[in-house]
Structure 1
């Protein structure tokens, strides 16, 4: 069985501008959370089965852009698999705040960042 895309993320050097742009373009609702450094969860308004997302500030050089997060059942195994297939770990496995699981980010062989979420 294939692994589903579970989350999308948009990062920008001007997160407020990005939230406004995507909110107005797609009629999404976002509200920055100061406790998360201005990161905002996105409500696409597409119902409970829609893929969720977030828009937030860039955390470092080269991380600005759009990435998907794929839900996996074993983060460490999939990260090792990505590496074996020519990928490179960008963000090692980390716990998410609250009880939202763990995530990691790798670059595919073309350098595209892809997140894994367990």
Structure 2
């Protein structure tokens, strides 16, 4: 039995900008909590059983980071939109072996590498 991804977290030195970036790119709802230093819980609006996450400031002992793949309907459009919002394309849409779909990679404005999978 595998261990499915159950949560994701993005940390940023400018967490408010990161929250806005991901909300605009994927249509996510981010509920920032001032009592938690602005950490925002994410609702991906993908329905029951969807993976949720959080976006917040970089912890003192950590560095900015995100290591997730996000499933999208259109890799090319999502990669273009990421660039429009200040991201950088790293790997163009590329076929995965054995019919596993396609992927692309971009760096968000903080340099975090994010995968798109379609």
Q: TM-score range by the shorter chain?
A: 0.5 to 0.7
CA RMSD of aligned residues (A): 1.4
After superposition, give the CA deviation of every residue in 1:50-92 in whole Å (9 maximum; x if it has no partner): 1111000001254201146xxxxxxxxxxxxxxxxxxxxxxxx
The unaligned stretches of length 5 or more in structure 2 are: 69-118
**Structure in which a larger fraction of residues adopt strand:** 1
TM-score normalised by the chain length of structure 1 = 0.54
Measured in 1, the distance between the counterparts of 2:24 and 2:38 equals 18
The unaligned stretches of length 5 or more in structure 1 are: 69-118
Runs of 4 or more above 2 Å deviation: 60-63
Instruction: Give, in angstroms, the shift of residue 41 of structure 1.
Output: 0.3
Counterpart in 1 of 2:25? 25
Q: Report the number of matched residues.
A: 68
Measured in 1, the distance between the counterparts of 2:61 and 2:35 equals 22
